[in-house]
Structure 1
Amino acid sequence: MPDPVVPARATCDLRAATPARVALGRSGASLPTRPLLDFTLDHARARDAVHAAFDAARLVAKLRELGLAPAEVMSRAVDRGEYLRRPDLGRQLDAASAEVLARTATEPGRLAIVIGDGLSPTAVHAHALALLKSLLLRLAAEDAVAICHVVVASGARVALGDEIGAILGARMVVMLIGERPGLSAPDSLGAYLTFAPKPGRTDAERNCVSNIHQAGLSYDEAAHKIAWLVREGLARGGTGVALKDESADRAPRRIGTASPGGTESGAKMSSS
């Protein structure tokens, strides 16, 4: 067997700066044993994350410990297999869940938080609660943006938040959801913000804060970005391509102050 080919020093330095698979070396026409085994392990972790069970009941209990009153809903995907085969079903509430939300929508509110399993329930179990705790502090820090509803959704795709937000009458919905696992991050959480949610919204009408995990964006960094986007989205009346993330450069707008067009933005929010 030929000796493995060792990458040059500059390429080795690059490996130290990124978890991406670069400069793996080679042994003949194949990979060395160690990189091959690492790839196989990471691929198995990604597959496990996609197929992991979502413990919605435990998440609901933890949210109640935070003083929240979450509703639990499901999409039209009856099981994990159908969820993966039929993405369209993950974007629609089942009839019973729609009725549950309609009964809880006593009055419109500004902000609804939806926590969905997505393509990595592992990510939601690992990061959603810690991120939400940090986000609650950020939203309450200045011009208190109260959360009118919290929903835990099983079999969820990002667009499921549009129907949920529309039924609840929320001006904006923030969907915390497990992202498609990568070979270097099987537990990455994403946050998707949509102003005036309703079925049919496109990804161009959303903002996304992604790669929230231990080796990616921290909870505090992500919460800062999300809170800034929430305030600015409510003040400007839009998200997506209409709202550029300038959270690193500008102080957050106070909800209720004049918008760039000179109109007053928003009314006092109900805490129901």
Structure 2
Amino acid sequence: MHIGILGTLTVSVNGVSITPTAPKARQVLALLAVRADQVVPVDALIEELWDAVPPRSARTTVQTYVLQLRELITAALEKPGEGEGRTAKDVLVTLPGGYLLRSGDGDGAGGCEGTSDIRDFERLSEVGYRAMEAGDFTEAARNLREALALWSGPALVDVQAGKQLDTEIKRLEETRLCALDQRIEAELRLGQHRSLLAELTVLIRRYPTHETLCGQYMLALHRSGRRGEALDAYQRLRNTLVRSKGLEPSAWLRKLQRSILSAGENGNPAIPAEDRQSVRLSTAC
């Protein structure tokens, strides 16, 4: 089985798509896919489909959607390929209280193994984070860039999302942002500030209150000899935070602004690494 979540929903068995076109059936498959190899309670599926006002027939309707998915799986399994001998009920398993979408054949002995862009993303990101901790910024940037390349758009962009999927989508977006700011941090450490400017310009417009990205943008601008623009970026963020949230920028970002002010046009602001928890913005490179 192949599961694609990081963009459009794509789920296939034996290379044959089992992704339905009907919106609610897609929702059911999407929730099962994003939680592949975990039991998804029937109550979670009901909440996803109908929120707090399910029809009396909700459980029966969920069963109908599961049957429709199994029909698609059965058709895919008829194609000769790996994992022969499986049935649709082996792939989409009924368990006490819910259902489980099995991403592999589960026999552990030479059968087919499932692939998932989420798992590939998490694996590559973890390698990148470990490389960051070890100070290998080239390796960190390479793995994190490869991880981020797996995203073809917002997660499950073509699926109507209820409460359960909305939570999963927000979680995935947060993991993407974490990988993104760590990749940018690694590339700043490698002195690639000029090549990052165009990307950061777009990102701070997309995420106008994201302090990490703003700090990275300020550093990239200052290192490129654009001190005034770096200070302007700080002021825009501050104005947005005060206006929309009633908050001042974080202490580390205020310290970065003061360092840029005191560094002068050709100086290099130095922010101690301990002032950052999520991203190390030390300018030692």
TM-score range, shorter chain: under 0.3
With the length of structure 1 as denominator, give the TM-score of the two structures. 0.25
**Which is greater in Rg?**
2
With the length of structure 2 as denominator, give the TM-score of the two structures. 0.24
Greater share of helix: 2
Greater share of strand: 1
